[in-house]
Copies of this chain bind each other. A is one copy, B any other.
């Protein structure tokens, strides 16, 4: 039986997402991309765009689980508030559509894709390309991060299944 995962990196001005199928032996990226919103638009309208586009993806592909990164550090308060707002909309969609939610630390995410919890962004980009056998590495950090978060959840969820037996 396969589980479909939505992994999201809810950035301040754009949001990276990945939809991943996990069966007993594989993790396959079904869809991935970036939701961007116009810089000159008021924040509430930008949040509605994120809501509409992400809800559209969820209704098209019906993922059962949402994976997110837990974040600890920000340049400043307004960045943290901005990410929190985008995260709030993402979590709301999960609740409305009855998805389970899982969180991982940035260290766990990097560790799971590169073997190194302190890997660089370009190492993460290169490794998600290899792990998912993509034709090219995702250009956007946010998309690479979403794919990495999905990989991390796929690996951890599999382990915890084994542990629960």
A44 within 8 A of B: yes
Instruction: Give the residues in chain B near A137, CB-CB below 8 Å.
Output: none
| Separation of A88 and B90 alpha carbons in the complex (Å) | 9
A87 within 8 A of B: yes
Minimal beta-carbon separation of A43 from chain B (angstroms): 6
A interface, how many residues as a size bin?
20 to 34
A84 within 8 A of B: yes
B80 touches A72 (CB 8 A): no
A88 touches B47 (CB 8 A): yes
Which of A78, A82, A87 is most buried by chain B, counting CB atoms within 10 A of its CB? A87
B84 touches A80 (CB 8 A): yes
Instruction: Give the residues in chain B near A86, CB-CB below 8 Å.
Output: 88
Q: Closest residue to A91 on the B side, CB-wise?
A: B44
A101 within 8 A of B: yes
A48 within 8 A of B: yes
Q: Report the stretch among A28-36, A92-100, A116-124 that lies at the interface.
A: A92-100
Query: What are 23 residue pairs bridging A and B, where the CB atoms are less than 8 Å apart in the complex?
Result: A43-B91, A43-B101, A44-B66, A44-B95, A44-B101, A47-B88, A47-B91, A47-B92, A47-B95, A51-B92, A51-B95, A71-B81, A72-B78, A73-B77, A80-B81, A81-B83, A81-B84, A84-B87, A84-B88, A85-B88, A87-B88, A88-B92, A89-B89
